[in-house]
Structure 1
Amino acid sequence: MHQAAVQSSIPTGESLAELAYRQIEEMIVTLKLEPGAIINERALTDITGMGRTPVREAVQKLAWEGLMEIRPRSGIAIAALNPQDFRKVLDTREGVERVLARDAALYGADLHHRRLQQASDAMSAAQEGNNVGSFLAADKTFDTVLGQAAENPFAARLASPLQTHSRRFWFRLQRPGSLQESAGAHRALIEAIIDRDEQRAADEATRLIDHLRSMAP
């Protein structure tokens, strides 16, 4: 795939580096890039169809988020996945998630509400079709819009890698009914934000984290 072809498919405002990041992140979350595996930059450019510069920028961001480890002269290691760490991620995530939910309910604009409703509808469709990939994509969109609606870039930057780690653990630990339960918890949170109910939004964020904790070993 040539870069020119990729460029035409990029949403407005999204750079090649951001598109490369999304593609590689999705492969890490869904374990297409296996935990502990060693890969090199050339392989990532082949997989994504991107040039070296956007891939390198994506790898640097993923390394900062703890999803990759750059090992000079030996390659790029995909982070190990220890299910016992899921609770640690969730314990760290809960406080900032409450802040984001509360502030999104307080400051979110109509545009954010429309995009949140679209994410909710996409989760419902994923649930009906039992489509895990579509659910994870909708969850990523939700997390992005949540950070924008909250108008708190500090909380959003803190939450983003934790949310990605959570999706990866969720994919690894899912069981029958997980998709339905997770979609329901997200829809309840989205509804509270759109209703501009700050306290309910914060409480629904806690309920979402509690649901995820129920999946942890």
Structure 2
Amino acid sequence: MCASVASRRNFTEISVWRRRWMWARLPSMELPQKESLADAAYRHLKRLILSATLSPDTVIDEKLVAAELGMSRTPVRQATSRLAAEGFVRVLPQRGTLVAQLSVSDIEQVYLLRSLVEPVAASLAAQRATPQDLERLEAFEREYLAEFDIEDHIPDHALHTRLHTAIAEVAGMPRLVRLIRELQEQTQWFLAVRVREGRQVPSPHSHQTLLSAIRDGDAERARDISRTAILGSRSKILNGAVPEADLLLATATTLP
């Protein structure tokens, strides 16, 4: 064998060995710190917005947020850009980044979409739920209702979001899960703002009839219960939890 051929073979063997060594190490490699910091800043700000701790039109001071979280402004800026893309904040010239507002028209659209997709998730969950799934849903329901039994306490509507997202997860459709989580978060945000403003919001309702239908494997009943509950909540919010002037804005859009 000539020297050049042997040299190429040795180089190839070394390259293959090096690639295998690198791939073997990949699972233990950590994500770049900048990405994890941006995710942390995103979750922090989104939690404050969804709970209405940061009320609509509040200016988000990126420098202050960065100092509170012990990071530079870069990951905070990345987080606010992501929140802006999702509609939670607005970036205005000369004013900076502000928490956005949900109009009555916005919440009408949210309930319209929820009335279309959540009944589908409930129906599929009734067909696919395992005993372990049902136990998990029941646990979420108990925690959700217990949250509203505490006097002088602003309830955490995130628990409602978690329950309905879990039902979508049982349905086994990841795209549906993402859509329902987004719509539930919009509803959660709207209700939290109303509570912070001292306005009336619908009382918590039990999901036992829905969970019972899912437990019984009754897809049609689960679908109907889900849709009826959504339309009922929508009616209460638009007829009792918003000013009369705002109600006029909602008359152009009605649910089927």
**How far has the Cα of 1:109 moved from its partner?**
3.1
**How far has the Cα of 1:76 moved from its partner?**
2.2
SS of the residue 1:77 aligns to: strand
Aligned to 1:183: 205
**How far has the Cα of 1:145 moved from its partner?**
1.3
Moved more, 207-216 or 82-91: 82-91
**How far has the Cα of 1:115 moved from its partner?**
2.0
SS of the residue 1:32 aligns to: coil
Aligned to 1:168: 189
TM-score (norm: length of structure 1): 0.74
Query: Aligned in 2, Cα 1:17/1:94: closer, same or farther, shift over 3 Å?
Result: farther
Moved more, 147-156 or 36-45: 36-45
**How far has the Cα of 1:96 moved from its partner?**
0.9
2:223 counterpart of 1:199: no
- Alignment equivalent of 2:65, drawn from 20, 44, 65: 44
Unmatched tracts of structure 1, length 5 or more = 1-14
Query: Aligned in 2, Cα 1:39/1:177: closer, same or farther, shift over 3 Å?
Result: closer
**How far has the Cα of 1:122 moved from its partner?**
0.8
Whole-angstrom CA distance in 1 between matches of 2:139 and 2:71: 29
Query: Aligned in 2, Cα 1:195/1:158: closer, same or farther, shift over 3 Å?
Result: same
Query: Aligned in 2, Cα 1:34/1:208: closer, same or farther, shift over 3 Å?
Result: same
Whole-angstrom CA distance in 2 between matches of 1:46 and 1:211: 44
Whole-angstrom CA distance in 2 between matches of 1:141 and 1:112: 14
What fraction of aligned residue pairs are identical, expressed as a percent? 30
Whether contact under 8 Å (1:120, 1:190) holds in the other structure is: no
Amino acid in structure 2 at the alignment position of 1:116:
L
Whole-angstrom CA distance in 1 between matches of 2:44 and 2:229: 26
Whole-angstrom CA distance in 1 between matches of 2:72 and 2:155: 26
Aligned to 1:121: 142
Amino acid in structure 1 at the alignment position of 2:131:
D
User: Once superposed, what is the RMSD of the aligned Cα atoms?
Assistant: 3.0
Query: Aligned in 2, Cα 1:47/1:198: closer, same or farther, shift over 3 Å?
Result: farther
Output one character per residue of 1:16-62: Cα deviation in whole Å (capped at 9) or x when no partner.
66665444333212221111222133333445567767655543443
Aligned to 1:150: 171
**How far has the Cα of 1:84 moved from its partner?**
4.4
Unmatched tracts of structure 2, length 5 or more = 1-35, 243-256
2:131 counterpart of 1:107: no
Query: Aligned in 2, Cα 1:51/1:148: closer, same or farther, shift over 3 Å?
Result: farther
Query: Aligned in 2, Cα 1:176/1:148: closer, same or farther, shift over 3 Å?
Result: same
TM-score (norm: length of structure 2): 0.64
Whether contact under 8 Å (1:170, 1:212) holds in the other structure is: no
Amino acid in structure 1 at the alignment position of 2:46:
E
Aligned to 1:29: 50
**How far has the Cα of 1:209 moved from its partner?**
1.0
SS of the residue 1:101 aligns to: helix
Query: Aligned in 2, Cα 1:72/1:84: closer, same or farther, shift over 3 Å?
Result: closer
Whole-angstrom CA distance in 2 between matches of 1:17 and 1:147: 27
SS of the residue 1:178 aligns to: coil
Output one character per residue of 1:168-187: Cα deviation in whole Å (capped at 9) or x when no partner.
222334566723xx332x34
2:84 counterpart of 1:63: yes
Aligned to 1:215: 237
Query: Which protein shows a greater Rg?
Result: 2
SS of the residue 2:237 aligns to: coil
